[in-house]
Structure 1
Amino acid sequence: MTLLILVSFLYYQKTTHIIHGKISDLAEKNVSQTVGLFDLLLEGYDSVTKSLNSNYELLDLLENRDKQTEPIASNDMERSITNILGAVYFSRDDIIGIHVITNKGKIYNYERRFAGVADLSYSNADWYKKIKAADGAMVWLGLSNGSLINSLQKDEVFVFGRTLFDLTNYKPIGIVLIETDPAPIMDALSNVTISPNSRVYIVDEENRVIATSQKAGEQTPSFAGLTRPVKNETVVDNQNDQLIVSAKASVADWTVVGFTPKADMSAELDQTRLYLLAVMAAVIVLSTVLATLISRNFASPLKLLIREMKQVEMGNFRGSVNVNSFDEINSLVASFNRMVQRMDELIERTALASISEKNAQLQALQSQVNPHFLYNTLDMIYWMLDERENDRLGKVILALSHMFRYSSDWEEASKTTLRQELDQMRHYLTIIESRLHGRIEAQIEFDSKWLDVALPKMTLQPIIENAVKSGLEPLGTLGILKVYTYADEVANELQIVIADNGIGMDHSMLLQLRQYLADAEYGTRTAEPGAVKPSGPRQRKGIGLPNVHRRLVLMYGERYGLRINSKQGEGTTVIIVVPLPEKGEDSI
């Protein structure tokens, strides 16, 4: 529910930003298009006045009409002037009236209605003074609620005018005042509105309103503090409670300004907000119902489970939890009950094992006299042989004594070093070489930096014994036993290799031996493909290869242990794989 509310809020914020941005872009485009329409419209009006000012016939008639004294000729000249004005009048559909006033006060009109009616006090009007002062430039007088010169014309008109000059001597001969239908102006203004409450104004450089879409009775805003755009520029002000967009016309010094309340821009967003609120209300109700159901069917069984766990922490393993909930909860409770039951059984087994261990320790203490008796007896035999100068047999007895001491001393646990294992291996080779009379040659090459690597006790001796008895002794000729180390930096392995050139073994026997090693890991590895599992129980004969492999795996992990390769008639290679010690780390 919280996530949905958060996402809804972010969605609403993002939607508001996007919609406001789109509306701003739309308003900017509309204002730019409107200014372009104004420019086209005003250029057309300007060409109308220019066409009158460049009409030599009209200018000549206006200049010479006042000089004509004959009534017939005077009437003909007035008719010609009226016809020229009529031709211009009918060239456009939006012209309402064309008024020409000469410097001598003669007025010529061409209008839709009330033709010939003129306000004779025009010379004192502001519009007349502006046109005269413009010195031939176009004067845009803007919208007027009625004709400026015809008091009977009450319809709203758009007015503009300019001074007429004699093109021969460039002297003013009068003015032309044109009144047009304001509908094109108002239609262009409506293009800027983007909401029912939008207001559009055309203002001049003096902040005087030329035209507006403002309704009657509405207050006109102040334009004094607005940023005025330059030509071909659009200014967007989105900082206040209204979106203000303005652009400047290129033909006239007019600025089109549009005001749109931001409340209108958010009208659709209000509907979105109401929809999101309705969705969130429904989600809250649904969440409450779901929370109640989950509390009854999910939380209550968990509370029972937690309560029983606390009992287990206090040492009570006899309890159990019975619930009827979702399958996952039922499975969890069943697993907990089985775990508690097994823990209870394990505690009982541990107690029995502890009692058995104490009995074994008592028996071991009672039997410690026997090894000491054998050590002393072997030492005595060695000194007797030494007195008789039987060095060869004395070395055998001494080696046997060292081996017996090493293999029976487990007080410091089962961990030793490669150095101690090599010493033990040399004692064993002393006995073997004495027994086989030079039929075995041992080649031992060890890097001294690996002598302190940790190994389980009795690692090398069982492997070498197996190589001698099973590989070299049946050979009948000189057997070579190689013992060396190899560091694989890529695999981070130290390999202790024991290789012989004995009789080797066939492939099925090799697979069977590898299967023994896999079984020695409590089933943690998959057996070799094609291996035949031995049938019947295997008899344990001393500390064999599976035992060595198992102890290496327990010490270093499943990546390490023994690896065996062999070919019948070529020999056998046993590789002891242990991890390389870290730099600066003690090996043991």
Structure 2
Amino acid sequence: MPPLADDPRTRRLFWWLQTGGWFGYACLSYLQALAHGKSPDYWRLSFGVALAGFLVTLGVRQVLKRSWGRPLRVFLPLAGACVVLATGLMGVAYITLVLDWCGDQCRPSSGLGYLASGTGQLYVVLSWVGFYTGIKYYRQLQQQSRQVLAATAMAHEAQLKMLRYQLNPHFLFNTLNAISTLVLDRQNDVANRMVQGLSAFLRHSLDSDPMQRVTLKQELDALNLYLGIEKMRFAERLAVETQVEPACYSALLPSMLLQPLVENAVKHAISRRVSGGRLRVRASRDGDTLVLAVADNGPGDDAAANGRQGNGTGVGLANTRERLRVLYDDAQAVKVRACEEGGLEVELRLPYETGGAPRE
């Protein structure tokens, strides 16, 4: 049992319950005494015993607090000893107040009578200890639940950031090689534009927060940074088509969600064909679902050999699957299928949501 933090709100709650509980006990005891024909001055006995219980249980609380984190084999005997001691002290207070209230006529006639009078408060002490430990166990469970939720959220955040920042090194190597070739060919203007495009893309990639969402319009703008670099590399070999329903531009989705899919298509479909190829990005709405698709007309058989068909086990696609699973659980789907004209299409389905995006 780990110890619980004693914050100010918890202390205030204890004092409210402690004061209100014993005051209520005193009032109830006094009303019962009046109902059984006791004189009105019996309040001294009722409130005196309640005051003794109030003070005694403060000591019990300190013992229970200090022993709370110990094993049950240690905690339970300590709690039992507290119950016995508190009952005895309240019993002494009760007998003293009774003798002061009605004198020798109320004095027990035997030791067994003293024992019975002294242990009459056992049920009250047991109730107090049970109530106190029950509240602490409840708070402990609440604290553990909050810790589990916080740890899960932190794990999801770390997982999303890891998946989000796994940039394909092939893209960087190819871009740097292309820049080097342009410099050697003295095409400095083109090389400079490619360096600027690469800088803008990397800045956007590192600045974007994987835990926040952007609109599809913002996602397409970021995707154009990447495609601008690839178009300078492939020139006429790369053709890009975008088909987006107007209502989808304001839809929210995780940042940099489409870039790994487009990068896969360029790597596996466009770069492997001498004549290049066509890349198509599509977005539509199907009821409450946003449908995103990235398709190419590359060599389907070759793509399948690279793990892009069937379950789609490529790193970029696997990361996309995992990001969507963490963010949307069962409310998402990823499908990979062959296109009729050749190549592959990756389709993403996620909840259609709109609203203000952080970077909008």
Please tell me the TM-score bracket, short chain as reference. Answer: 0.3 to 0.5
Q: More helix by proportion, 1 or 2?
A: 2
Q: More strand by proportion, 1 or 2?
A: 1
Structure showing greater relative contact order (alpha-carbon pairs closer than 8 Å, 6 or more residues apart)? 2
- Alignment TM-score, normalising by the size of structure 1: 0.29
- Alignment TM-score, normalising by the size of structure 2: 0.46
